[in-house]
Amino acid sequence: MPHSVSVFGAAGFTGALTARLLYRHPSLELRAVTARSDVGRRLDDLYPHHRVPLELEELDLDRHAEVDAAVVAYPHGAAAPVVAELRERGVRVVDLSADFRLHDPAVYGRWYREHQAPELLGEAVYGLPELYREEIRGASLVANPGCYPTASLLALAPLARAGVVEDVVIDAKSGVSGAGRAATEKTHFVTVDENLNAYGVPRHRHIPEIEQELAILGADVRITFIPHLVPLDQGELVSCYVTLSEDAVDPGSLEELYAEAYAGEPFVELAAAPPGVRDVRETNICRISVHRDERTGRVIVFGAIDNLWKGAASQAVQNLNLMLGLPEDEGIGVTTSAERRAVR
Amino acid sequence: MPHSVSVFGAAGFTGALTARLLYRHPSLELRAVTARSDVGRRLDDLYPHHRVPLELEELDLDRHAEVDAAVVAYPHGAAAPVVAELRERGVRVVDLSADFRLHDPAVYGRWYREHQAPELLGEAVYGLPELYREEIRGASLVANPGCYPTASLLALAPLARAGVVEDVVIDAKSGVSGAGRAATEKTHFVTVDENLNAYGVPRHRHIPEIEQELAILGADVRITFIPHLVPLDQGELVSCYVTLSEDAVDPGSLEELYAEAYAGEPFVELAAAPPGVRDVRETNICRISVHRDERTGRVIVFGAIDNLWKGAASQAVQNLNLMLGLPEDEGIGVTTSAERRAVR
Amino acid sequence: MPHSVSVFGAAGFTGALTARLLYRHPSLELRAVTARSDVGRRLDDLYPHHRVPLELEELDLDRHAEVDAAVVAYPHGAAAPVVAELRERGVRVVDLSADFRLHDPAVYGRWYREHQAPELLGEAVYGLPELYREEIRGASLVANPGCYPTASLLALAPLARAGVVEDVVIDAKSGVSGAGRAATEKTHFVTVDENLNAYGVPRHRHIPEIEQELAILGADVRITFIPHLVPLDQGELVSCYVTLSEDAVDPGSLEELYAEAYAGEPFVELAAAPPGVRDVRETNICRISVHRDERTGRVIVFGAIDNLWKGAASQAVQNLNLMLGLPEDEGIGVTTSAERRAVR
Amino acid sequence: MPHSVSVFGAAGFTGALTARLLYRHPSLELRAVTARSDVGRRLDDLYPHHRVPLELEELDLDRHAEVDAAVVAYPHGAAAPVVAELRERGVRVVDLSADFRLHDPAVYGRWYREHQAPELLGEAVYGLPELYREEIRGASLVANPGCYPTASLLALAPLARAGVVEDVVIDAKSGVSGAGRAATEKTHFVTVDENLNAYGVPRHRHIPEIEQELAILGADVRITFIPHLVPLDQGELVSCYVTLSEDAVDPGSLEELYAEAYAGEPFVELAAAPPGVRDVRETNICRISVHRDERTGRVIVFGAIDNLWKGAASQAVQNLNLMLGLPEDEGIGVTTSAERRAVR
């Protein structure tokens, strides 16, 4: 019998895509999709290409919480209260907001606002399976990482774990879907098309999340992180410029370091050439290349993901799969080329 | 001494571009830019690339109408009352809305709403200089054509005048700037990017305008007109499929017909190959090619313009130049290649 | 045991996508991919996003023809000889070229060149499953339709069958992948970006294919067909302007006509609003809307497909599925929203 | 009497644009355009939007060097011999290649190849008017900077001059026109569209040029420089991450530093918010914003230009204007908003 799931907040880009993936998931049954706007509209009217013939409903926890698991795709701040109610009813939750990503409510307070459910922070697991696979398996509440942290941490983790990171500059570039569904001057086609600019300078909210996880991995640094908006739909690239603290890592071993770190990972793909976001479009894959600049000694790591997939919705399904004891890649499509060869 | 002008409604795409062209016009002085939204913001803050360092002001006719001429860039319906007030004060007006394009207020009523200033329809001249140059020279009120009618009429006029048009299908394609500055689901980058669709099916408001002018030219037909939205910023292409009423026009003479019709026109460019919208981007030029399909006998005419320039703002300046006795091409950049060669 | 297949000509866009779909097909085993260029390169090097870890091989029929079925993705003219050899060895073939689409070798000769294997024309079935499903099931050679004919015929078939078509203008728009992988001035990003133009005016090679099939369906007309290039990757829209021969079809029954014609079709989706190419991106679905222009009596039908999927590769797999007795939708992803609801 | 000029190598993007600007320059007369490919084609056939009705001619120095000045738009390495011949005939030259940008032929040799005219290096002036205006005025040979160095040096010059730069990472992003006119897999629309990737990692040839000029300004550093390709036509953004050598510069004075450095510069525009490439499209303007990250102490500077204009062709005209004693902005359009206000 399939596990039952609901998606809360399915009118936005990430919630709707999560609904699409769950609707076609072989071992899950999507029971309901709720929304705060567009109640009564069908998802396949709002997003024809997702082909989910369900109606968006107004939140009714008595009905919608009668499920084994839930994905919450609410804005930061609005998510915590709903997650708290769901947890009270014993529902397993993957939360797409930032509300349970930061372990320290004081840090959350500084970058967002006062936390609405600090009592749950203790049970929340940071949902990056490549770092916390075992913890996620047993978790009842998983905080799905932000898109920028997903790409950045996967790009930097091997170096951070090796304890060689002294300083990091992350120049990040994202497609427009990362800005969400709200129609504003910033998301108007005429604003974005043939354009390119930085935003959120210099204090983007993904910074504390990246620093928290880098510190846990072994790199206790203050990062410089600047995101840019590029004229494409889905796709995100982080270009990480790492100053090494020592000379212990040489070019040859850099590639080995990454190969070992990600051996057997179904959704991390190592490449010799800098990855393009097109290489990972509509997949749960993070494609990484690592380079050493001999002239400066700096290490440069690129990480490419689809911000709506591995950066949000398909990673939520990956987490759900782990939490529910299902195969990790069920319902989220192809794995890396390397993996395919191995399994066939 | 330069003539003084104001732009009313300069916060939108076409009003702002008109302001930019007038601000740099050698013989005009841009006195004021008004707006219904964004009052107090500077135009070069809202549209940095236009580089017009003027502040958007709330409408104050006592001050803003103290000019020789005005360009009104208000929405349909909202324009008529302002135009009426300006005309009362003796200001010459180029109106970018549809309010004075249709000669018959009853037709206007059917496609828009009840007309707010029918008494002015008699003095309004349809502002397509290639058709009504002399009338525009003496006009005090010019109704700037819609973007689709501009391209369609220039593409079809020679055939219509020859009296050989029996039936016309116009398949039109426009960049997103044609949808205006309003941020909506329809203009969101993610909606438009990598997409392509028809809209306004089957009753787009530009139909009566095209039919009115075709009839005057000699083609009293009911047209089929379907616009499409394409993922680009500025640019518009009309593909006109004409069934001829008789066999009087043969392939050879088709090209001659067009060459004669547009000989000496500074802003109409004839091409052998189908024009691309890139060929006319940021110009006042309409580029046209005409073809005969021997298999079906049908004539196919393509017309490409920049919807914000020849389709709106630069054509408004072209009209102003004519009304004020200035050189027709002053302040609106290059003319066709053919013209350049002639004048040098 | 899975059926074995090879793809001949897998270095191009459609061959490579076919290889990707076959590589992950549950009931087929992709044995080899051959190419005329790029021999020795791996497909996942050439097309990382397809993730097919196979090496492109030089054609060696003795090895590569040892399969149950083959997909040939060669250029027009080059395909016929290879198809002939494969058929001689008893291999079932889906051919993506135009070589076996036209029943009359004289017509082929006029639009392409002298036919290289006219003796096979008798056994070739036109591979549009929505029209020839039963014939395809028993076929040994299927001629996969062109992308424009696929969309056009699905859009027009119900009207053609009803015998009410007097005249048709098809204004078609395609993304750049339709121009193939060759790097030329025409496919350079700078040529296509922010551009839009017609091409192949007025004699595009897809015309005889559309006319042949329309005639068989019941509409013996000479069509006007003009394709346009739009700045997007994958996606194709046909806007069909139909003059009816009689008044037998009224607005209400138009929708019924289409609903009946496509009831139960897994890959045809009817919509009330004009379809966008984004609605069908990376699917085997053709999305259609039909409209009547009351003013002119004309019927307007829009059909949207992904030119590389339903317009080529996924339709080839759909045909293979039918030929090999497999479920029609195996390995080619989601079906329409309507279908999904039915099967769940 | 106007000065006469020729453009050598006008078939490429930058040469053709230079020809367009010179063709309409009020004080220059464009005598000839030569090319190594496309000889005999007209420029307005190859680039309709430039509207330059001249024929591309095969190089004939006896005829083409009979001019006051020349712009050479040849590839690196091929330029030096032609420049040498032109100089021998006394023609003033602006060279768009890298051949005369590096003062040390040994450095040139390491990054390019053996220098073909080292004897001319002494007279060559680096053509960034904002740094070398006076030297350019008297120069007979000007080496037009690369597009990345133009944006990078203008973004970094005030800090470099202040002697506070300890380390620099430049993450650069460019539109596809920067890759030139050659049709390759890399410039194919389908490769670039909806994509984004780094290239030339980690040794791009613009590095020594940037380092040479930074050192002269006062920052003797080894830079990390990584360019990225983004899916747009014209436009380039550099994001410069600067580690300061001391704490002498505080946030307030940063803005002052830049305001003073660029006071009165007609083509440098300072902005509070990060600039977009759309803000400078088809202009000779570099738009800059400077920010301090309080958390890390790092200074972040963004510089946006149009790679074909300020990054190549219009800067060449700016240099020509200076060399020939003409107004610096003649023939290259608008200056900054600030300047406009000053001059009116």
Q: Which residues of C touch A4 (CB under 8 A)?
A: none
Q: What pLDDT shows up at residue B260?
A: 96
Interface predicted TM-score of the whole assembly (ipTM), two decimals: 0.96
Interface A-D: count of C-beta contacts within 8 A: 148
Contacts of B291 in chain C (CB under 8 A): 201-202
What part of C 174-203 touches B (C-beta under 8 Å)? Answer: 175, 191, 193-199, 201-203
Residue C139: closest CA among C311, C324, C2, C329: C324
Residue D253 contacts A, CB cutoff 8 Å: no
- Whether C183 and D187 lie within 8 Å, measured CB to CB: yes
Q: Which one of D169, D228, D274 has the shortest CB-CB distance to A201?
A: D274
**B119: three-class secondary structure by DSSP:** helix
Per CB-CB distance under 8 Å, the chain B contacts of D283 are 49
Report the gap between the CA of C24 and the closest CA in chain A (Å): 9
- Neighbour subunits, A (≥3 Cβ pairs < 8 A): B, C, D
- Tell me whether residue D147 is one of the annotated catalytic residues: yes
Chain A residues near residue C48 by CB distance under 8 angstroms: 271, 275-276, 278-279, 287, 337
Sequence-distant (≥ 6) Cβ neighbours of residue A281 within 8 angstroms? A234, A235, A306, C49, D194
Q: Which of C33, C71, C102, C147 is catalytic?
A: C147
Residues 140-169 of A with CB under 8 A from D: 169
Subunit contact A187:B185, Cβ cutoff 8 A: no
Could you say which residues from 10 to 29 on chain B have a Cβ atom under 8 Å away from some Cβ of chain D?
Answer: 23-24
Residue D343 has pLDDT above 90, yes or no: no
Q: Are A130 and A268 in contact (CB under 8 A)?
A: yes
Tokens of B33: 């830019």
Nearest to A202 among D231, D277, D293 (CB): D293
Task: Please give the Cα distance from D25 to D12 (Å, whole number).
Answer: 20
Pairs from B106-110 (Cβ < 8 Å, separation ≥ 24): B107/B208, B107/B212, B108/B208, B110/B208
Q: pLDDT by residue for chain C (344 residues), tens digit each?
A: 789 999 999 999 999 999 999 999 999 999 999 999 999 999 999 999 999 999 999 999 999 999 999 999 999 999 999 999 999 999 999 999 999 999 999 999 999 999 999 999 999 999 999 999 999 999 999 999 999 999 999 999 999 999 999 999 999 999 999 999 999 999 999 999 999 999 999 889 999 999 999 999 999 999 999 999 999 999 999 999 999 987 665 656 999 999 999 999 999 999 999 999 999 999 999 999 999 999 999 999 999 999 999 999 999 999 999 999 999 999 998 888 775 444 33
State the pLDDT at residue D267.
97
Contact A49 C280 (CB under 8 A): yes
Confirm if A164 and D204 have CB atoms less than 8 A apart.
Answer: no
Give A-chain residues touching D195 at CB under 8 angstroms. 232, 235, 276-278
**Those residues with Cβ within 8 angstroms of residue D170's Cβ, 6 or more apart along the chain or in another chain:** D148, D152, D210, D223, D224, D225, D226, D238, D239, D240, D241
3-state secondary structure of B248: coil
Please indicate whether, in this complex, the C-beta atoms of A233 and B181 are within 8 angstroms of each other. no
Per the CB < 8 A criterion, the answer to whether C109 and C45 are in contact is: no
Q: Convert the pLDDT of each residue in D199-252 to its tens digit.
A: 999 889 999 999 999 999 999 999 999 999 999 999 999 999 999 987 665 656
Please report which confidence band the pLDDT of residue B341 belongs to, taking 50, 70 and 90 as the band edges: very low
Q: Which of the two residues, B150 and B341, has the higher pLDDT score?
A: B150
CB-based burial label for C200 (10 Å; 0-12, 13-18, 19+): middle
Q: Is A51 on the interface with C (CB under 8 A)?
A: yes
Q: Report the residue of chain D nearest C229, measured CA to CA.
A: D189
CA B87 to chain centroid:
21
The per-residue pLDDT for range D98-150, each reduced to its tens digit, is 999 999 999 999 999 999 999 999 999 999 999 999 999 999 999 999 999 99
Residues A188/B181, Cβ–Cβ less than 8 Å = yes
Mutate to test the interface with B, among C110, C171, C229, C308 (most CBs of B within 10 A): C171
Put simply, the chain D residues between 265 and 284 with a CB less than 8 A from any chain A CB are: 274-278, 281
Q: What is the identity of the amino acid at A258? A: Y
Q: Stretch B256-283: mean pLDDT, rounded?
A: 97
Q: Exposure string (b/e) for B185-208, b if CB count within 10 Å is 16 or more?
A: ebbbbbbbbbbbbbebbbebbbbb
> CA angle, corner D187, sides to C236 and D47, nearest 5?
85
Task: Name the residue of chain D whose CA is nearest to A275's CA.
Answer: D197
Q: Locate D243 and state its tokens.
A: 């580690």
Which residues, in sequence order, are bridge partners of residue A173?
Answer: A228, A237
Distance CA A293, CA A299 (A): 6
pLDDT score recorded for residue D35: 97
Q: Which of A93, A117, A147, A165 is catalytic?
A: A147
Q: With the C-alpha atoms ordered A134, A139, A143, A144, is the resulting torsion angle positive or negative?
A: positive
Closest C-alpha among C231, A185, C278, C197 to residue B233: C231
Q: What DSSP string describes D246-296?
A: SS---HHHHHHHHHHHTTT-TTEEE-SSPP-GGGGTTSS-EEEEEEE-TTT
Q: How far apart are CA D64 and CA D85, in angstroms?
A: 11
CB contact under 8 A, C228 and B241: no
- What confidence score (pLDDT) does residue D324 get? 98
Q: How many CB pairs under 8 A join B and C?
A: 147
* Chains C & D: contacts with CB separation below 8 Å: 53
Cβ of B232 within 8 Å of Cβ of C302? The answer is no
**Residue C128 contacts residue C145 (beta carbons within 8 Å):** yes
pLDDT digits (tens, 9 = 90+) for C263-273: 999 999 999 99
Residue D340 has pLDDT above 70, yes or no: no
Chain A nearest CA to B78, separation (Å): 23
Q: Do B232 and C278 touch (CB under 8 A)?
A: no
Burial of B88 by CB count in 10 Å (0-12 exposed, 13-18 middle, 19+ buried)?
A: exposed
Of A176, A181, A183, the CB nearest to B187: A183
- The beta strands (E) that lie in chain C are given as 3-8, 28-34, 56-57, 69-72, 92-95, 124-126, 141-143, 165-174, 197-198, 224-229, 236-244, 268-270, 286-292, 299-305
| Chain D touched by C49 (CB under 8 Å) | no
Identify the CA nearest to A148 among candidates A317, A281, A305.
Answer: A305
Taking the C-alpha atoms of residue C268 and residue D329, their distance in angstroms, rounded to an integer, is 59
Contact residues on chain B for D276, CB-CB shorter than 8 A: 48
CB contact under 8 A, B283 and D49: yes
pLDDT above 90 (res D333)? no
Q: What is the DSSP letter of A114?
A: S
The alpha carbon of C229 is separated from its chain's Cα centroid by a whole number of angstroms, namely 18
Considering B147, B160, B172, B261, which one is annotated as catalytic?
Answer: B147
CA dihedral (D308, D310, D316, D318) positive or negative: positive
Q: Report the candidate in C174, C302, C306 with the shortest Cα–Cα distance to residue B201.
A: C302
Residue B49 sits at the chain A interface (C-beta within 8 Å) = no
Name the β-bridge partners of C240.
Answer: C170, C301
Helix axes B313-323, B129-137, angle to 10 degrees: 40
The CA distance from B344 to B185, in Å, is: 48
Nearest to D239 among A171, A195, A291 (CB): A171
Interface test with C, best of D50, D189, D306 (most C CBs within 10 A): D189
Tell me if A11 sits within 8 A of A42, measured CB to CB: no
Nearest beta carbon to residue A274 from set D198, D223, D294: D198
Task: Please give chain A's pLDDT, 344 residues, in tens.
Answer: 789 999 999 999 999 999 999 999 999 999 999 999 999 999 999 999 999 999 999 999 999 999 999 999 999 999 999 999 999 999 999 999 999 999 999 999 999 999 999 999 999 999 999 999 999 999 999 999 999 999 999 999 999 999 999 999 999 999 999 999 999 999 999 999 999 999 999 889 999 999 999 999 999 999 999 999 999 999 999 999 999 987 665 656 999 999 999 999 999 999 999 999 999 999 999 999 999 999 999 999 999 999 999 999 999 999 999 999 999 999 998 888 775 444 33
Q: What residue in B sits closest to A195 (Cα-Cα)? A: B233
A-interface mutation test, from D176, D189, D197, most A Cβ less than 10 A away:
D197
CA distance A193 to B189: 8
Question: CA-CA distance, A93 to A323, in Å (whole number)?
Answer: 9
Task: For residue B54, give how far its alpha carbon lies from the nearest alpha carbon of chain C (Å).
Answer: 30
CA distance C68 to chain A (A): 20
Minimum CA–CA partner of C297 in chain B: B224
B24 contacts D334? CB cut-off 8 A: yes
φ, ψ of residue C260 in degrees (nearest 5) = -70, -45
Q: Which residue type is seen at C228?
A: H
Calpha distance A148→A206 (Å, rounded): 7
For residues B264 and B341, what is the distance between their CA atoms, to the nearest angstrom?
12
Min CA distance, A315 vs chain D (Å)?
21
